[in-house]
Protein backbone atom coordinates (compact mmCIF):
# COMPACT_ATOMS: atom_id res chain seq x y z
CA UNK A 1 0.00 0.00 0.00
CA UNK A 2 1.45 3.37 -1.06
CA UNK A 3 0.65 6.20 1.37
CA UNK A 4 2.84 9.10 0.24
CA UNK A 5 5.20 9.92 -2.64
CA UNK A 6 7.74 12.70 -3.13
CA UNK A 7 9.09 13.45 -6.59
CA UNK A 8 8.97 15.72 -9.64
CA UNK A 9 5.92 16.05 -11.86
CA UNK A 10 7.11 15.30 -15.39
CA UNK A 11 3.81 15.33 -17.27
CA UNK A 12 0.14 16.21 -17.00
CA UNK A 13 -2.80 14.53 -18.68
CA UNK A 14 -6.04 16.18 -19.72
CA UNK A 15 -8.05 13.77 -17.54
CA UNK A 16 -6.32 14.92 -14.33
CA UNK A 17 -3.55 12.36 -14.38
CA UNK A 18 0.06 13.22 -13.59
CA UNK A 19 3.31 11.30 -13.91
CA UNK A 20 5.46 11.67 -10.80
CA UNK A 21 9.14 10.75 -11.07
CA UNK A 22 10.29 9.28 -7.74
CA UNK A 23 13.94 8.29 -7.88
CA UNK A 24 13.72 7.32 -11.54
CA UNK A 25 10.43 5.42 -11.19
CA UNK A 26 7.37 7.01 -12.77
CA UNK A 27 4.10 6.76 -10.83
CA UNK A 28 0.83 7.58 -12.57
CA UNK A 29 -1.63 9.31 -10.25
CA UNK A 30 -5.01 10.96 -10.64
CA UNK A 31 -5.27 14.26 -8.74
CA UNK A 32 -8.19 16.66 -8.20
CA UNK A 33 -8.05 19.97 -10.04
CA UNK A 34 -5.90 22.44 -8.08
CA UNK A 35 -4.04 19.82 -6.05
CA UNK A 36 -0.63 20.55 -7.55
CA UNK A 37 -1.12 24.24 -6.85
CA UNK A 38 -1.79 23.49 -3.20
CA UNK A 39 1.15 21.08 -2.88
CA UNK A 40 4.21 23.15 -2.05
CA UNK A 41 7.38 22.14 -3.95
CA UNK A 42 10.67 22.02 -2.06
CA UNK A 43 13.85 23.81 -3.13
CA UNK A 44 14.57 21.11 -5.73
CA UNK A 45 11.09 21.31 -7.27
CA UNK A 46 9.86 18.06 -5.76
CA UNK A 47 6.32 17.83 -4.42
CA UNK A 48 4.89 15.47 -1.82
CA UNK A 49 1.54 13.91 -2.57
CA UNK A 50 -0.49 11.92 -0.05
CA UNK A 51 -1.68 8.82 -1.85
CA UNK A 52 -4.81 6.70 -1.75
CA UNK A 53 -4.32 3.29 -3.35
CA UNK A 54 -7.58 2.13 -4.91
CA UNK A 55 -7.70 -1.60 -5.60
CA UNK A 56 -10.28 -3.32 -7.77
CA UNK A 57 -10.38 -6.79 -9.24
CA UNK A 58 -9.25 -5.53 -12.63
CA UNK A 59 -7.12 -2.50 -11.75
CA UNK A 60 -4.97 -0.70 -9.20
CA UNK A 61 -5.14 3.10 -9.30
CA UNK A 62 -3.28 5.77 -7.34
CA UNK A 63 -4.91 9.06 -6.34
CA UNK A 64 -2.74 11.95 -5.12
CA UNK A 65 -3.59 14.81 -2.74
CA UNK A 66 -1.89 17.94 -1.47
CA UNK A 67 -2.18 16.98 2.20
CA UNK A 68 -3.56 14.38 4.57
CA UNK A 69 -6.83 16.21 5.16
CA UNK A 70 -7.58 16.27 1.42
CA UNK A 71 -6.92 12.53 1.22
CA UNK A 72 -9.11 11.95 4.28
CA UNK A 73 -11.94 13.92 2.65
CA UNK A 74 -11.57 11.78 -0.49
CA UNK A 75 -11.90 8.64 1.63
CA UNK A 76 -14.98 10.05 3.37
CA UNK A 77 -16.51 10.73 -0.04
CA UNK A 78 -15.82 7.15 -1.11
CA UNK A 79 -17.71 5.98 1.98
CA UNK A 80 -20.92 7.55 0.67
CA UNK A 81 -23.06 5.09 -1.29
CA UNK A 82 -22.93 5.47 -5.08
CA UNK A 83 -19.86 7.73 -4.87
CA UNK A 84 -16.82 6.31 -6.63
CA UNK A 85 -13.32 7.72 -7.21
CA UNK A 86 -14.36 9.67 -10.31
CA UNK A 87 -17.08 11.60 -8.49
CA UNK A 88 -14.92 12.06 -5.37
CA UNK A 89 -12.10 13.57 -7.47
CA UNK A 90 -14.59 15.84 -9.25
CA UNK A 91 -16.04 17.06 -5.93
CA UNK A 92 -12.62 17.92 -4.48
CA UNK A 93 -11.55 19.52 -7.75
CA UNK A 94 -14.55 21.86 -7.63
CA UNK A 95 -14.73 22.26 -3.85
CA UNK A 96 -11.47 22.00 -1.86
CA UNK A 97 -11.88 20.66 1.67
CA UNK A 98 -12.72 23.97 3.38
CA UNK A 99 -15.21 24.98 0.67
CA UNK A 100 -16.80 21.54 0.75
CA UNK A 101 -17.04 21.82 4.53
CA UNK A 102 -18.81 25.16 4.27
CA UNK A 103 -21.20 23.88 1.60
CA UNK A 104 -22.10 20.81 3.66
CA UNK A 105 -22.53 22.85 6.87
CA UNK A 106 -24.86 25.28 5.06
CA UNK A 107 -26.66 22.40 3.32
CA UNK A 108 -25.91 24.19 0.06
CA UNK A 109 -27.42 21.77 -2.43
CA UNK A 110 -26.67 24.09 -5.35
CA UNK A 111 -22.93 24.10 -4.66
CA UNK A 112 -22.83 20.29 -4.66
CA UNK A 113 -25.01 19.78 -7.75
CA UNK A 114 -22.80 22.27 -9.62
CA UNK A 115 -20.03 19.65 -9.56
CA UNK A 116 -19.93 17.81 -12.92
CA UNK A 117 -21.39 14.33 -12.59
CA UNK A 118 -23.19 14.97 -9.29
CA UNK A 119 -26.96 14.83 -9.47
CA UNK A 120 -29.51 15.89 -6.90
CA UNK A 121 -29.85 12.47 -5.23
CA UNK A 122 -26.10 12.04 -4.72
CA UNK A 123 -25.79 15.66 -3.56
CA UNK A 124 -28.53 15.14 -0.96
CA UNK A 125 -26.79 11.98 0.23
CA UNK A 126 -23.47 13.83 0.55
CA UNK A 127 -25.10 16.59 2.62
CA UNK A 128 -26.76 14.02 4.87
CA UNK A 129 -23.78 11.72 5.44
CA UNK A 130 -20.82 14.12 5.51
CA UNK A 131 -21.81 16.92 7.87
CA UNK A 132 -20.49 15.52 11.16
CA UNK A 133 -17.59 13.73 9.49
CA UNK A 134 -16.32 16.75 7.56
CA UNK A 135 -16.53 18.98 10.62
CA UNK A 136 -13.57 17.07 12.06
CA UNK A 137 -11.46 17.85 9.00
CA UNK A 138 -12.58 21.34 8.08
CA UNK A 139 -12.65 24.25 10.55
CA UNK A 140 -14.79 26.03 7.95
CA UNK A 141 -17.58 23.52 8.55
CA UNK A 142 -17.68 24.33 12.24
CA UNK A 143 -17.44 28.08 11.63
CA UNK A 144 -20.33 27.93 9.17
CA UNK A 145 -22.52 26.30 11.80
CA UNK A 146 -22.67 29.50 13.84
CA UNK A 147 -20.68 32.17 15.72
CA UNK A 148 -18.33 30.86 18.36
CA UNK A 149 -18.44 27.29 17.07
CA UNK A 150 -14.64 27.22 16.91
CA UNK A 151 -14.22 28.21 20.56
CA UNK A 152 -13.91 24.76 22.10
CA UNK A 153 -12.41 23.69 25.37
CA UNK A 154 -8.98 22.06 25.38
CA UNK A 155 -10.36 18.61 26.23
CA UNK A 156 -12.97 18.82 23.49
CA UNK A 157 -10.32 20.05 21.04
CA UNK A 158 -8.08 17.09 21.86
CA UNK A 159 -10.95 14.65 21.36
CA UNK A 160 -11.90 16.25 18.06
CA UNK A 161 -8.29 16.15 16.92
CA UNK A 162 -7.98 12.50 17.94
CA UNK A 163 -11.07 11.68 15.88
CA UNK A 164 -9.70 13.51 12.84
CA UNK A 165 -6.34 11.72 13.04
CA UNK A 166 -7.81 8.26 13.46
CA UNK A 167 -10.20 9.07 10.61
CA UNK A 168 -7.14 9.70 8.44
CA UNK A 169 -5.83 6.24 9.20
CA UNK A 170 -3.47 6.87 12.13
CA UNK A 171 -3.63 4.45 15.05
CA UNK A 172 -5.19 5.77 18.29
CA UNK A 173 -1.83 5.43 20.08
CA UNK A 174 -0.12 7.55 17.42
CA UNK A 175 -2.83 10.20 17.70
CA UNK A 176 -2.52 10.28 21.49
CA UNK A 177 1.28 10.67 21.31
CA UNK A 178 0.99 13.58 18.88
CA UNK A 179 -1.61 15.31 21.05
CA UNK A 180 0.51 14.79 24.17
CA UNK A 181 3.57 16.19 22.37
CA UNK A 182 1.65 19.33 21.45
CA UNK A 183 0.69 20.00 25.07
CA UNK A 184 -2.00 22.39 26.26
CA UNK A 185 -0.49 25.37 24.42
CA UNK A 186 -0.91 23.63 21.09
CA UNK A 187 -4.49 22.71 21.92
CA UNK A 188 -5.40 26.39 22.39
CA UNK A 189 -4.59 27.12 18.74
CA UNK A 190 -7.17 27.00 15.97
CA UNK A 191 -8.20 23.53 14.89
CA UNK A 192 -6.54 23.83 11.47
CA UNK A 193 -3.22 24.78 13.12
CA UNK A 194 -3.61 21.93 15.61
CA UNK A 195 -4.18 19.41 12.83
CA UNK A 196 -1.22 20.74 10.84
CA UNK A 197 1.07 20.54 13.87
CA UNK A 198 -0.10 17.02 14.73
CA UNK A 199 0.50 15.83 11.16
CA UNK A 200 3.98 17.37 11.21
CA UNK A 201 4.77 15.50 14.45
CA UNK A 202 3.49 12.23 13.02
CA UNK A 203 5.54 12.68 9.85
CA UNK A 204 8.84 12.79 11.80
Per-residue pLDDT reduced to its tens digit, 176-185: 788 888 775 5
Assign 3-class secondary structure to 33-102: CCHHHHCCCCCCCCEEEEEEEEECCCCEEEEEECCHHHHHHHHHHHCCCCCCHHHHHHHHHHCCHHHHHH
pTM score, whole prediction: 0.68
Class of domain 154-203: mainly alpha
Q: What percent of the chain has pLDDT over 70?
A: 81
- Domain-by-domain residue ranges, the chain? 4-66, 69-144, 154-203
Q: What is the mean pLDDT of residues 152-168?
A: 65
Asked whether the predicted pLDDT for residue 145 surpasses 60, the reply is: no
Binned at pLDDT 50, 70 and 90, residue 34 comes out as confident
Residues 163-170: what's their mean pLDDT? 71
Class at the top of the CATH hierarchy for domain 4-66: mainly beta
Distance of CA 38 to the CA centre of its chain: 12
Cα(9)–Cα(19) distance, integer angstroms:
6
User: Do the Cβ atoms of 117 and 155 come closer than 8 Å?
Assistant: no
**Domain boundaries 69-144, corresponding CATH code:** 1.10.150.20
Indicate whether 148 pLDDT > 50: no
Amino acid sequence: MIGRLTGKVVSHEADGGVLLDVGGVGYELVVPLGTLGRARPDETGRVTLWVHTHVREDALALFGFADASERAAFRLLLGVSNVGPKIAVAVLGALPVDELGRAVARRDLGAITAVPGVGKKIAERLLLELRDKLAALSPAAGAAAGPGAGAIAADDAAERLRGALTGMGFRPGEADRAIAAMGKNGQRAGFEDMLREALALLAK
